Structure formats: C-alpha cells, structure tokens
Structure 1
C-alpha cells in the first residue's frame, strides 16, 4: 500500500505538533473578554453567554462589574430581566429578591418576619452563582468557572492583554474598541484571522484589490507551537514599506497581528473572539498605533484608522465584518455536514498561505480536545444556516441594543431626522406665505389682477430660497433616515462589490 505524501506546507504545519507532550488545553480555566466598559449601561443588567452558559453582567454599588449565572436561585427567573437598585444590589424583578456583589441574598421581602428572612438568606441555596470578573484595558473579563476554587485559580492567570497599552507612552495610540456578536463559531473566526490571503479578495475596495493584490507569499513559523501559548507565523515577502508582519495566536481568545514598518512605526490589530454558544462568537477588537521616533503615525486599517466617534466606527464595521460573514456562516454549516474524516481531509490546502490555518486546526484537534466543551445545559448542535439575509446581517440584536454609545447616537440621529422634516415643512410653508403676501401686495397696488394665479406670476426670490431650503432639509432627513438603517441591518453581496 502506497502512503500518500503530504504537501510541504502541510508537513511544516503538522511537524511542530510532535514537538511537545500530550498536555491538553483547559478551556474553562481561562479569562474571556465579554464587554467593553464604556459601551455598557451601568443602570441595568446585561445578558451574555460564555461556553454555552447564560450569564449576566451588572455593576454593583462600588462601581465594579460582576457576573452571575443568569438565573435567580428562587425560581430560576433570568436576573438579566431584573434591576440594579440604588443600594448597589441586583434585584430579581420576579419576586424582588436582592443579591450583593458576591451573590449573597440580602433580601426576601415575602418572608414572615425579619428573623425568618435572615434565616432564608443565610441558606447557601439562596445565593446567586457568581463568576470571577476583572476590568483590564477597558474590557470586562470573566473567568469561566464559579466557586471559591475558581476564585483562587483565576488570580493565578492573567488575561491576554496588549502589552503596549500598559506602557503609558505618548507614542501608543489606541483607537476605539468594537464589539459584535457574529453568527459563526469561534474556530471559524480564528481560522479566518489566521488567513491573510483572503484580505484583498474578501475586502476588495477596503483592503486592496482582488484583481491586483491576491499574490503569492510564504508563512514561515516564527514561534514554537505550545498548547497553552499558541503559535506565531510571519509573512514573506513583504511590501516595500513593511519590515515584518506577524500573526500571533494566543489561546483561548486572542489573535495579535503586528505590522512593523521600516520607519519604526507599528500597527497592532487586537482581535479577540469569545465562544458564546454553538455557531456564535463574540468579537471585540481595536487598532493600536505605535508612532515612530519622529512621532509619525503608521497607516491603519483602511478608513477605520481615520478620526471618528466610536459609534460611527461600530456601524461602519458592518461594511468589513459582513464581507467575511457571508462566507463563514455557511462554510461552518457545510463543514459540519461532511461528518466523515478529519478537517484536513475535507479541504484542499496546497499553498503555503494555508500553513497557519492548518496549524490552528491541528492545535484544536490535538491540543484542545477537538473543540469547545460547551456547558451541559447547552444544545451542542449547530443552528441551521440562515437563508434570510435580513436576519443574517442583523446589526440591532448583535450589537446596537447592547451598546450605549450606539443607542445614544441613534436617538440623536432620529431627533435630527424629525427636525429636518419638520423644518422642511416650515420652510415650504414660509415660502407659500411669502409668495401669497407678495401677490396680495401687488394686487393692492394694482400691479397684478387679484385673479392672477401662481402659474402666471414669477414668485419672488424669497419663495425660491424657502423652497430650496425645504428641499435641502427634506433631503437631509431622507439621508439621515437611510443612514440610521445601518444601526439595524446591513446587507452585502460580493457580486455587487465592484
């Protein structure tokens, strides 16, 4: 029997897997980024999901964000439908039980008397299940296990932060954080950002040209593969302005992409992905620009590096994210249907540009138990492919409704829209009044007959100015209304991206 010889790029990716022992990655003993602090509304609880668990984030009286299981111990009503009270406790809005920052029940108002209430509150069964949390670099991080043991273990491990943001240097510029729930799995997110070859093709018009920039390059391994620390690859050859380009996977949630320019500047793409439930992940990311010695900023990621408010960056991000989503959402479902064989047997990856993707898939299979260990209460099956593009490209439920910055901006845009339409009507009305007054004056002076219609007399300049203002204001209202649509849905097809 003849043994099939793997292509060189596949051997280069697989061989490092034999260099280390059989240690397995522990998914539940990790920190995961779950929210951006500045986009959270501290006056209410926020539902989140992590590894298939339903959780809730809320801010206590001391200003610290806390994470509980999203179920009141009384009757399992969701705490995310509750209230953050003025005393800094979380109230279940079903029967008004209250919980402190540690999850202890501090109030059961239906109790017979204070003594009975104290007795019930002291019972461990009355406590909410709390998960360790911390704030770091503007993000809320959640440890994926609960209990006293988890509290101790969480203190022994640090989140996958950005070292440059700890330097407090005026050469380091952090652009806005973006956050989005994506309708494809964590593994497909990491596979996608391990694959720079897709960038000028999928993101044609934003990050290059599918016709000019889809070129050959190699991806040599830069850092030895590790179960706990991941791996890194670099790209060669590079453009004339770039000294080095590195993709660095740091499990469980971080892909760090660094472009070092020949003038000394750096562009760091900080990409996080948290597995939330089967077929979904939560993406949080930003750009970090490191100026060169002369104080010059490096080029950023397309127009997303331009100065803009966070809310504008959030809704424009759909132009970029949906260009990948239209592939990855369906690709995941197609791969799941091909049940037989390993990942490498189901695809054809002959080029060296696929080395990092191959390495990632083998890391997942050999070092990380083959995939996410979803919570036992979670349905492990993938959802069906979404054929309704309005639902697939939904922005409201995957971002806007949980982002205070975007909600505030949307309210202002809606007010401006109404104001523009009202002002247009007022302008038009003033124009009619000016024209009518002019006709009346002319009739009184005998320069025009009273029966003369507007069709036979040229209106005065004031009428035309008012009419022009009305048209401009109505157009502005229409464009604002159309622009506000981006907060709800943004559909995309590559066939129309010329």
Structure 2
C-alpha cells in the first residue's frame, strides 16, 4: 500500500513539473473563499466556487471543512443543516450526520445498529469533501475531491503574502475585507492590473482625476508563464516611490507593491475567486513594511488609517462601488458584441494598457480562454442589473456573511433606539419642569393676572436644557439609523463625485 501511494505521488510530481507546457489547471489550485474570523462557527455557510455549490462548516476539532452542498441521501442542501454539539454536520431533512472527512456516521431511520453501520460504510452515503487549510487568517479550498486531490493539494502552496510569514515587528497587516462583486473574476483581474483607472475612478479617495491622470509606461519584469503568471513595473512613478510592481499570480492573487524611497513598502494583497458566471468573491488587505527608522508608509487613501474592522468594511463600499458601476455593465457590453477575442472588441492604444492586454493573452493562450464552470452550473452570463438598489446591495454581498459587521449593526441599532428613548425622556422631563415652574409662578400671582401671565411666563433654564438634549439625542438617533443603512446598500454616481 505504501509503495502504491509513493508511486502515485511520484506521478503527481511529474505531472506538476510538465504543467507549464499545458493549459492552466483551474481545479488544481488553492482558492481563498472566506476570512475565518468573520465566519459564525455555530452554523454552516453556503458559498460557491467555480460554479459549484459548497458548504463551509467547523467540526469538533475546530477545523473548517468544505463539502459539496448536498446530502447524498436526497440531495437536500447541507448548508440548511446544523453543526451539532458532537462536531458533526447534520442534514436537517432526515438527520443524517457527517464527520469532518465527509463520512456518514448516523442514519437514524435505519432498522437497527447493524443496518445503520452497513449503510454508513457504503461510499455512496458519504458527502463529497474538498481539501481545506487555514493560512494567514484565510480559509482556502482545493476544488477537487478524493485521495488524488489530497496528494496534489499538498504539493502546491496557496498564494500567500510572504512578508507576513516573516513575523517581523516591521510588518503591519491591516484588516481583511471581503465582498461578493457583481462582475466576473476576469474583469476583477483586468481592473486591478490597470493602475491608470485609479485616480480617475477613485477621484477624491486616491488621487485627482484632473491632475493625476498622467502618462506612464509599463515594463515587463517577469515573463509570462502558465502557472506563475507575469508582472510589470510602472514607470515613472510618484516622487516618493522608488518602484511599483503589479504581480499577477494565478488563479486568484494580484500583488501590488510600492517601494518607497525612504525604505518603506506598501503591499496591496488582492484576491478574487470565481464563484459563478458574472460574480466573484474578493478578499483583500493592506500590508505595511516599515523602513529602518520605524516609519510606516502611507496607505491607500483613508483606508490606511486606524479604524475598527467593521468601519473599514462599511467604508469599503465607497471604493468598491466606484469600480463596480463600470465593470458590471462593461462585462455585459463586451459579451453582447460577441467578438471571438477580447482585443477585437476594444481599442487600447496606450502603454498603460500593456498589463491588461497581457492578462487577456494569458487567459486566452494559457488558461483555455475562461473559467471551466462546473457542469451543473448555468454558464450563461446574468443580465445587467438596472436597479441600482440591487446593484449596490451590501447586505447580501457582505453583511449577512460577516459576523463582525452583524454584531456592529446590532450595537448601532441598539444605540439608535437608546438615543430616541433618551430624547423622549428628555422632552418629557422638560415638559414636567416647565409645567411645575409655570404652576408655581401662577400660584404666586393675583387671581386677576393669572390668565394673562400664564401665557407670558418664560420657561426656566432646566426646560431649555432638557429640550436641547431631546433635540440632540433625536438627531443622534436619526444619524445612527441613517448610517446603519450602509450595512444594507450604498448607491454611488460618478456624476455626483466632485
């Protein structure tokens, strides 16, 4: 058995060595699919990868697992099930249970224990499990199952951030952000290999569309390969930057490094996993490397400032939606033209488009032209979403999957209600103070002056303080309620971004 396994591993290694000469193997890769700290470990989570429906859940050994999202019994979704106290995943349809490896361990409707054990030992009763691993706070999934997939997954490393592995005091990693985006994986990558759009699309956050949209060239610094992608240097760069390199590492990673003249370094670690046609899952963060003097380089806009994770997630919409409004419709427009090649559908005369062209060439010549979606997936591109409320949906694409943001939203809603309650109480106290003061004043007046003087009594200072407090807390409650809307939807118009 050991000899057979060794031979199998040798064949797998040889296969990986010759891979550069073949088409990019989409299913033999690690994909980051979730941020572990943002997941609720008490329940299963439905997700998608390469058009496959998958479910993530944490077993009794505190290890996150990934299954295809169906029970082998009657194909009910396991994501609608439960994580039980014994660390098994229960299908809530007929209470079949599965361990972390996908093996069925309980079939309650069996005639007796012997019959149950017989049915559980049948391979057809097992869930389809994919290899997983947790690295740098991300949950990575290998979208193939079986013994061969286990071997192959150990021979390939995920596209991690090497600086974080150094465990140095000079390396500072900011929070992870995660979002499902309403455009395809290829359009995400096409966008992030294009620095020219940044000061224009993100006017007011990163650069100025009228001052910073300047000429520059792009020089190739790593030649194209099937498995390792390619990289380009941007030149000339800003006065304070010595070198800036965009490095595409397929299938999911874009590494953008800015080396500052004072020795500091800014790394934008951007990931995108293809989930289904017209959609991708983005995970990203900023990493700072301090210079010898301990100075931290400037980050990407105000996102480099210290802030709570949930606030960073909310403000991310300001940035992500500025691109989404282009890429969502751009993807549909190019698809409608029906051109065989991307280059035939566009006009790219400037050197700033070199890396975008290189990416499309890699996809066409090295990766089969596009994502090989799962056979059960509807590979048709969804129609363009004209309802901006749905296009800029934040709840479905982020908040409902992020435990950090859900907790923050609950606290903000509680504060909003509390502010309204305090406003009502303050107003009531003001009325009581004023009423008592007026009653005392009137009681001290002659009877013939009572009616006239009642209307001319000026309320005491306590009334005005109470009224002011009521107004202030009412405004706070309103603003908190309005701010909480950003957890659900954030609409954006470039025409209004002055």
TM over 0.5: yes
Q: Where do 1:189-204 residues align within 5 Å? A: 189-204=188-203
Q: Deviations over 1:241-274 (max 9, x none)?
A: 0000000000000000000000000000000000
Corresponding residue for residue 331 of structure 2: 332
1:458 is displaced (CA, Å) by 1.0
Match of 1:340, SS?
coil
Corresponding residue for residue 481 of structure 1: 481
Corresponding residue for residue 204 of structure 2: 205
Mapped to 2, the partners of 1:125 and 1:340 lie a distance apart of 44
Aligned residues: 479
1:455 is displaced (CA, Å) by 4.4
Mapped to 2, the partners of 1:289 and 1:447 lie a distance apart of 78
Corresponding residue for residue 148 of structure 1: 147
2:85 is aligned with 1:119 = no
1:145 is displaced (CA, Å) by 0.6
Q: Where do 1:7-156 residues align within 5 Å? A: 22-156=21-155
2:20–2:225: 8 Å Cα contact kept in structure 1? no
Q: Deviations over 1:368-402 (max 9, x none)?
A: 00000000000010000000000000000000000
Give me the CA root mean square deviation: 1.2
Q: Where do 1:252-267 residues align within 5 Å? A: 252-267=251-266
1:453 is displaced (CA, Å) by 7.2
Relative distance call for 1:114 and 1:447 in structure 2 (3 A) is: farther
1:439 is displaced (CA, Å) by 1.1
Corresponding residue for residue 472 of structure 2: 472
Corresponding residue for residue 497 of structure 1: 497
2:20–2:227: 8 Å Cα contact kept in structure 1? no
Single out whichever of 310-319 and 109-118 deviates more from structure 2: 109-118
Corresponding residue for residue 463 of structure 1: 463
Relative distance call for 1:283 and 1:453 in structure 2 (3 A) is: farther
* Structure 2 unaligned spans of 5+: 1-18
Mapped to 2, the partners of 1:425 and 1:419 lie a distance apart of 10
Q: Deviations over 1:186-228 (max 9, x none)?
A: 0000000000000000000000111000000000101111111
2:178–2:281: 8 Å Cα contact kept in structure 1? yes
Mapped to 1, the partners of 2:162 and 2:273 lie a distance apart of 20
Q: Where do 1:198-277 residues align within 5 Å? A: 198-277=197-276
Corresponding residue for residue 306 of structure 1: 305
1:454 is displaced (CA, Å) by 6.4
Q: Taking structure 2 as the reference length, what is the TM-score of the superposition?
A: 0.95
Q: Deviations over 1:17-42 (max 9, x none)?
A: xxx97521100000000000100000
Relative distance call for 1:145 and 1:456 in structure 2 (3 A) is: same
Match of 1:255, SS?
strand
* Structure 1 unaligned spans of 5+: 1-19
Q: Deviations over 1:153-205 (max 9, x none)?
A: 10110000000000000000000000000000000000000000000000000
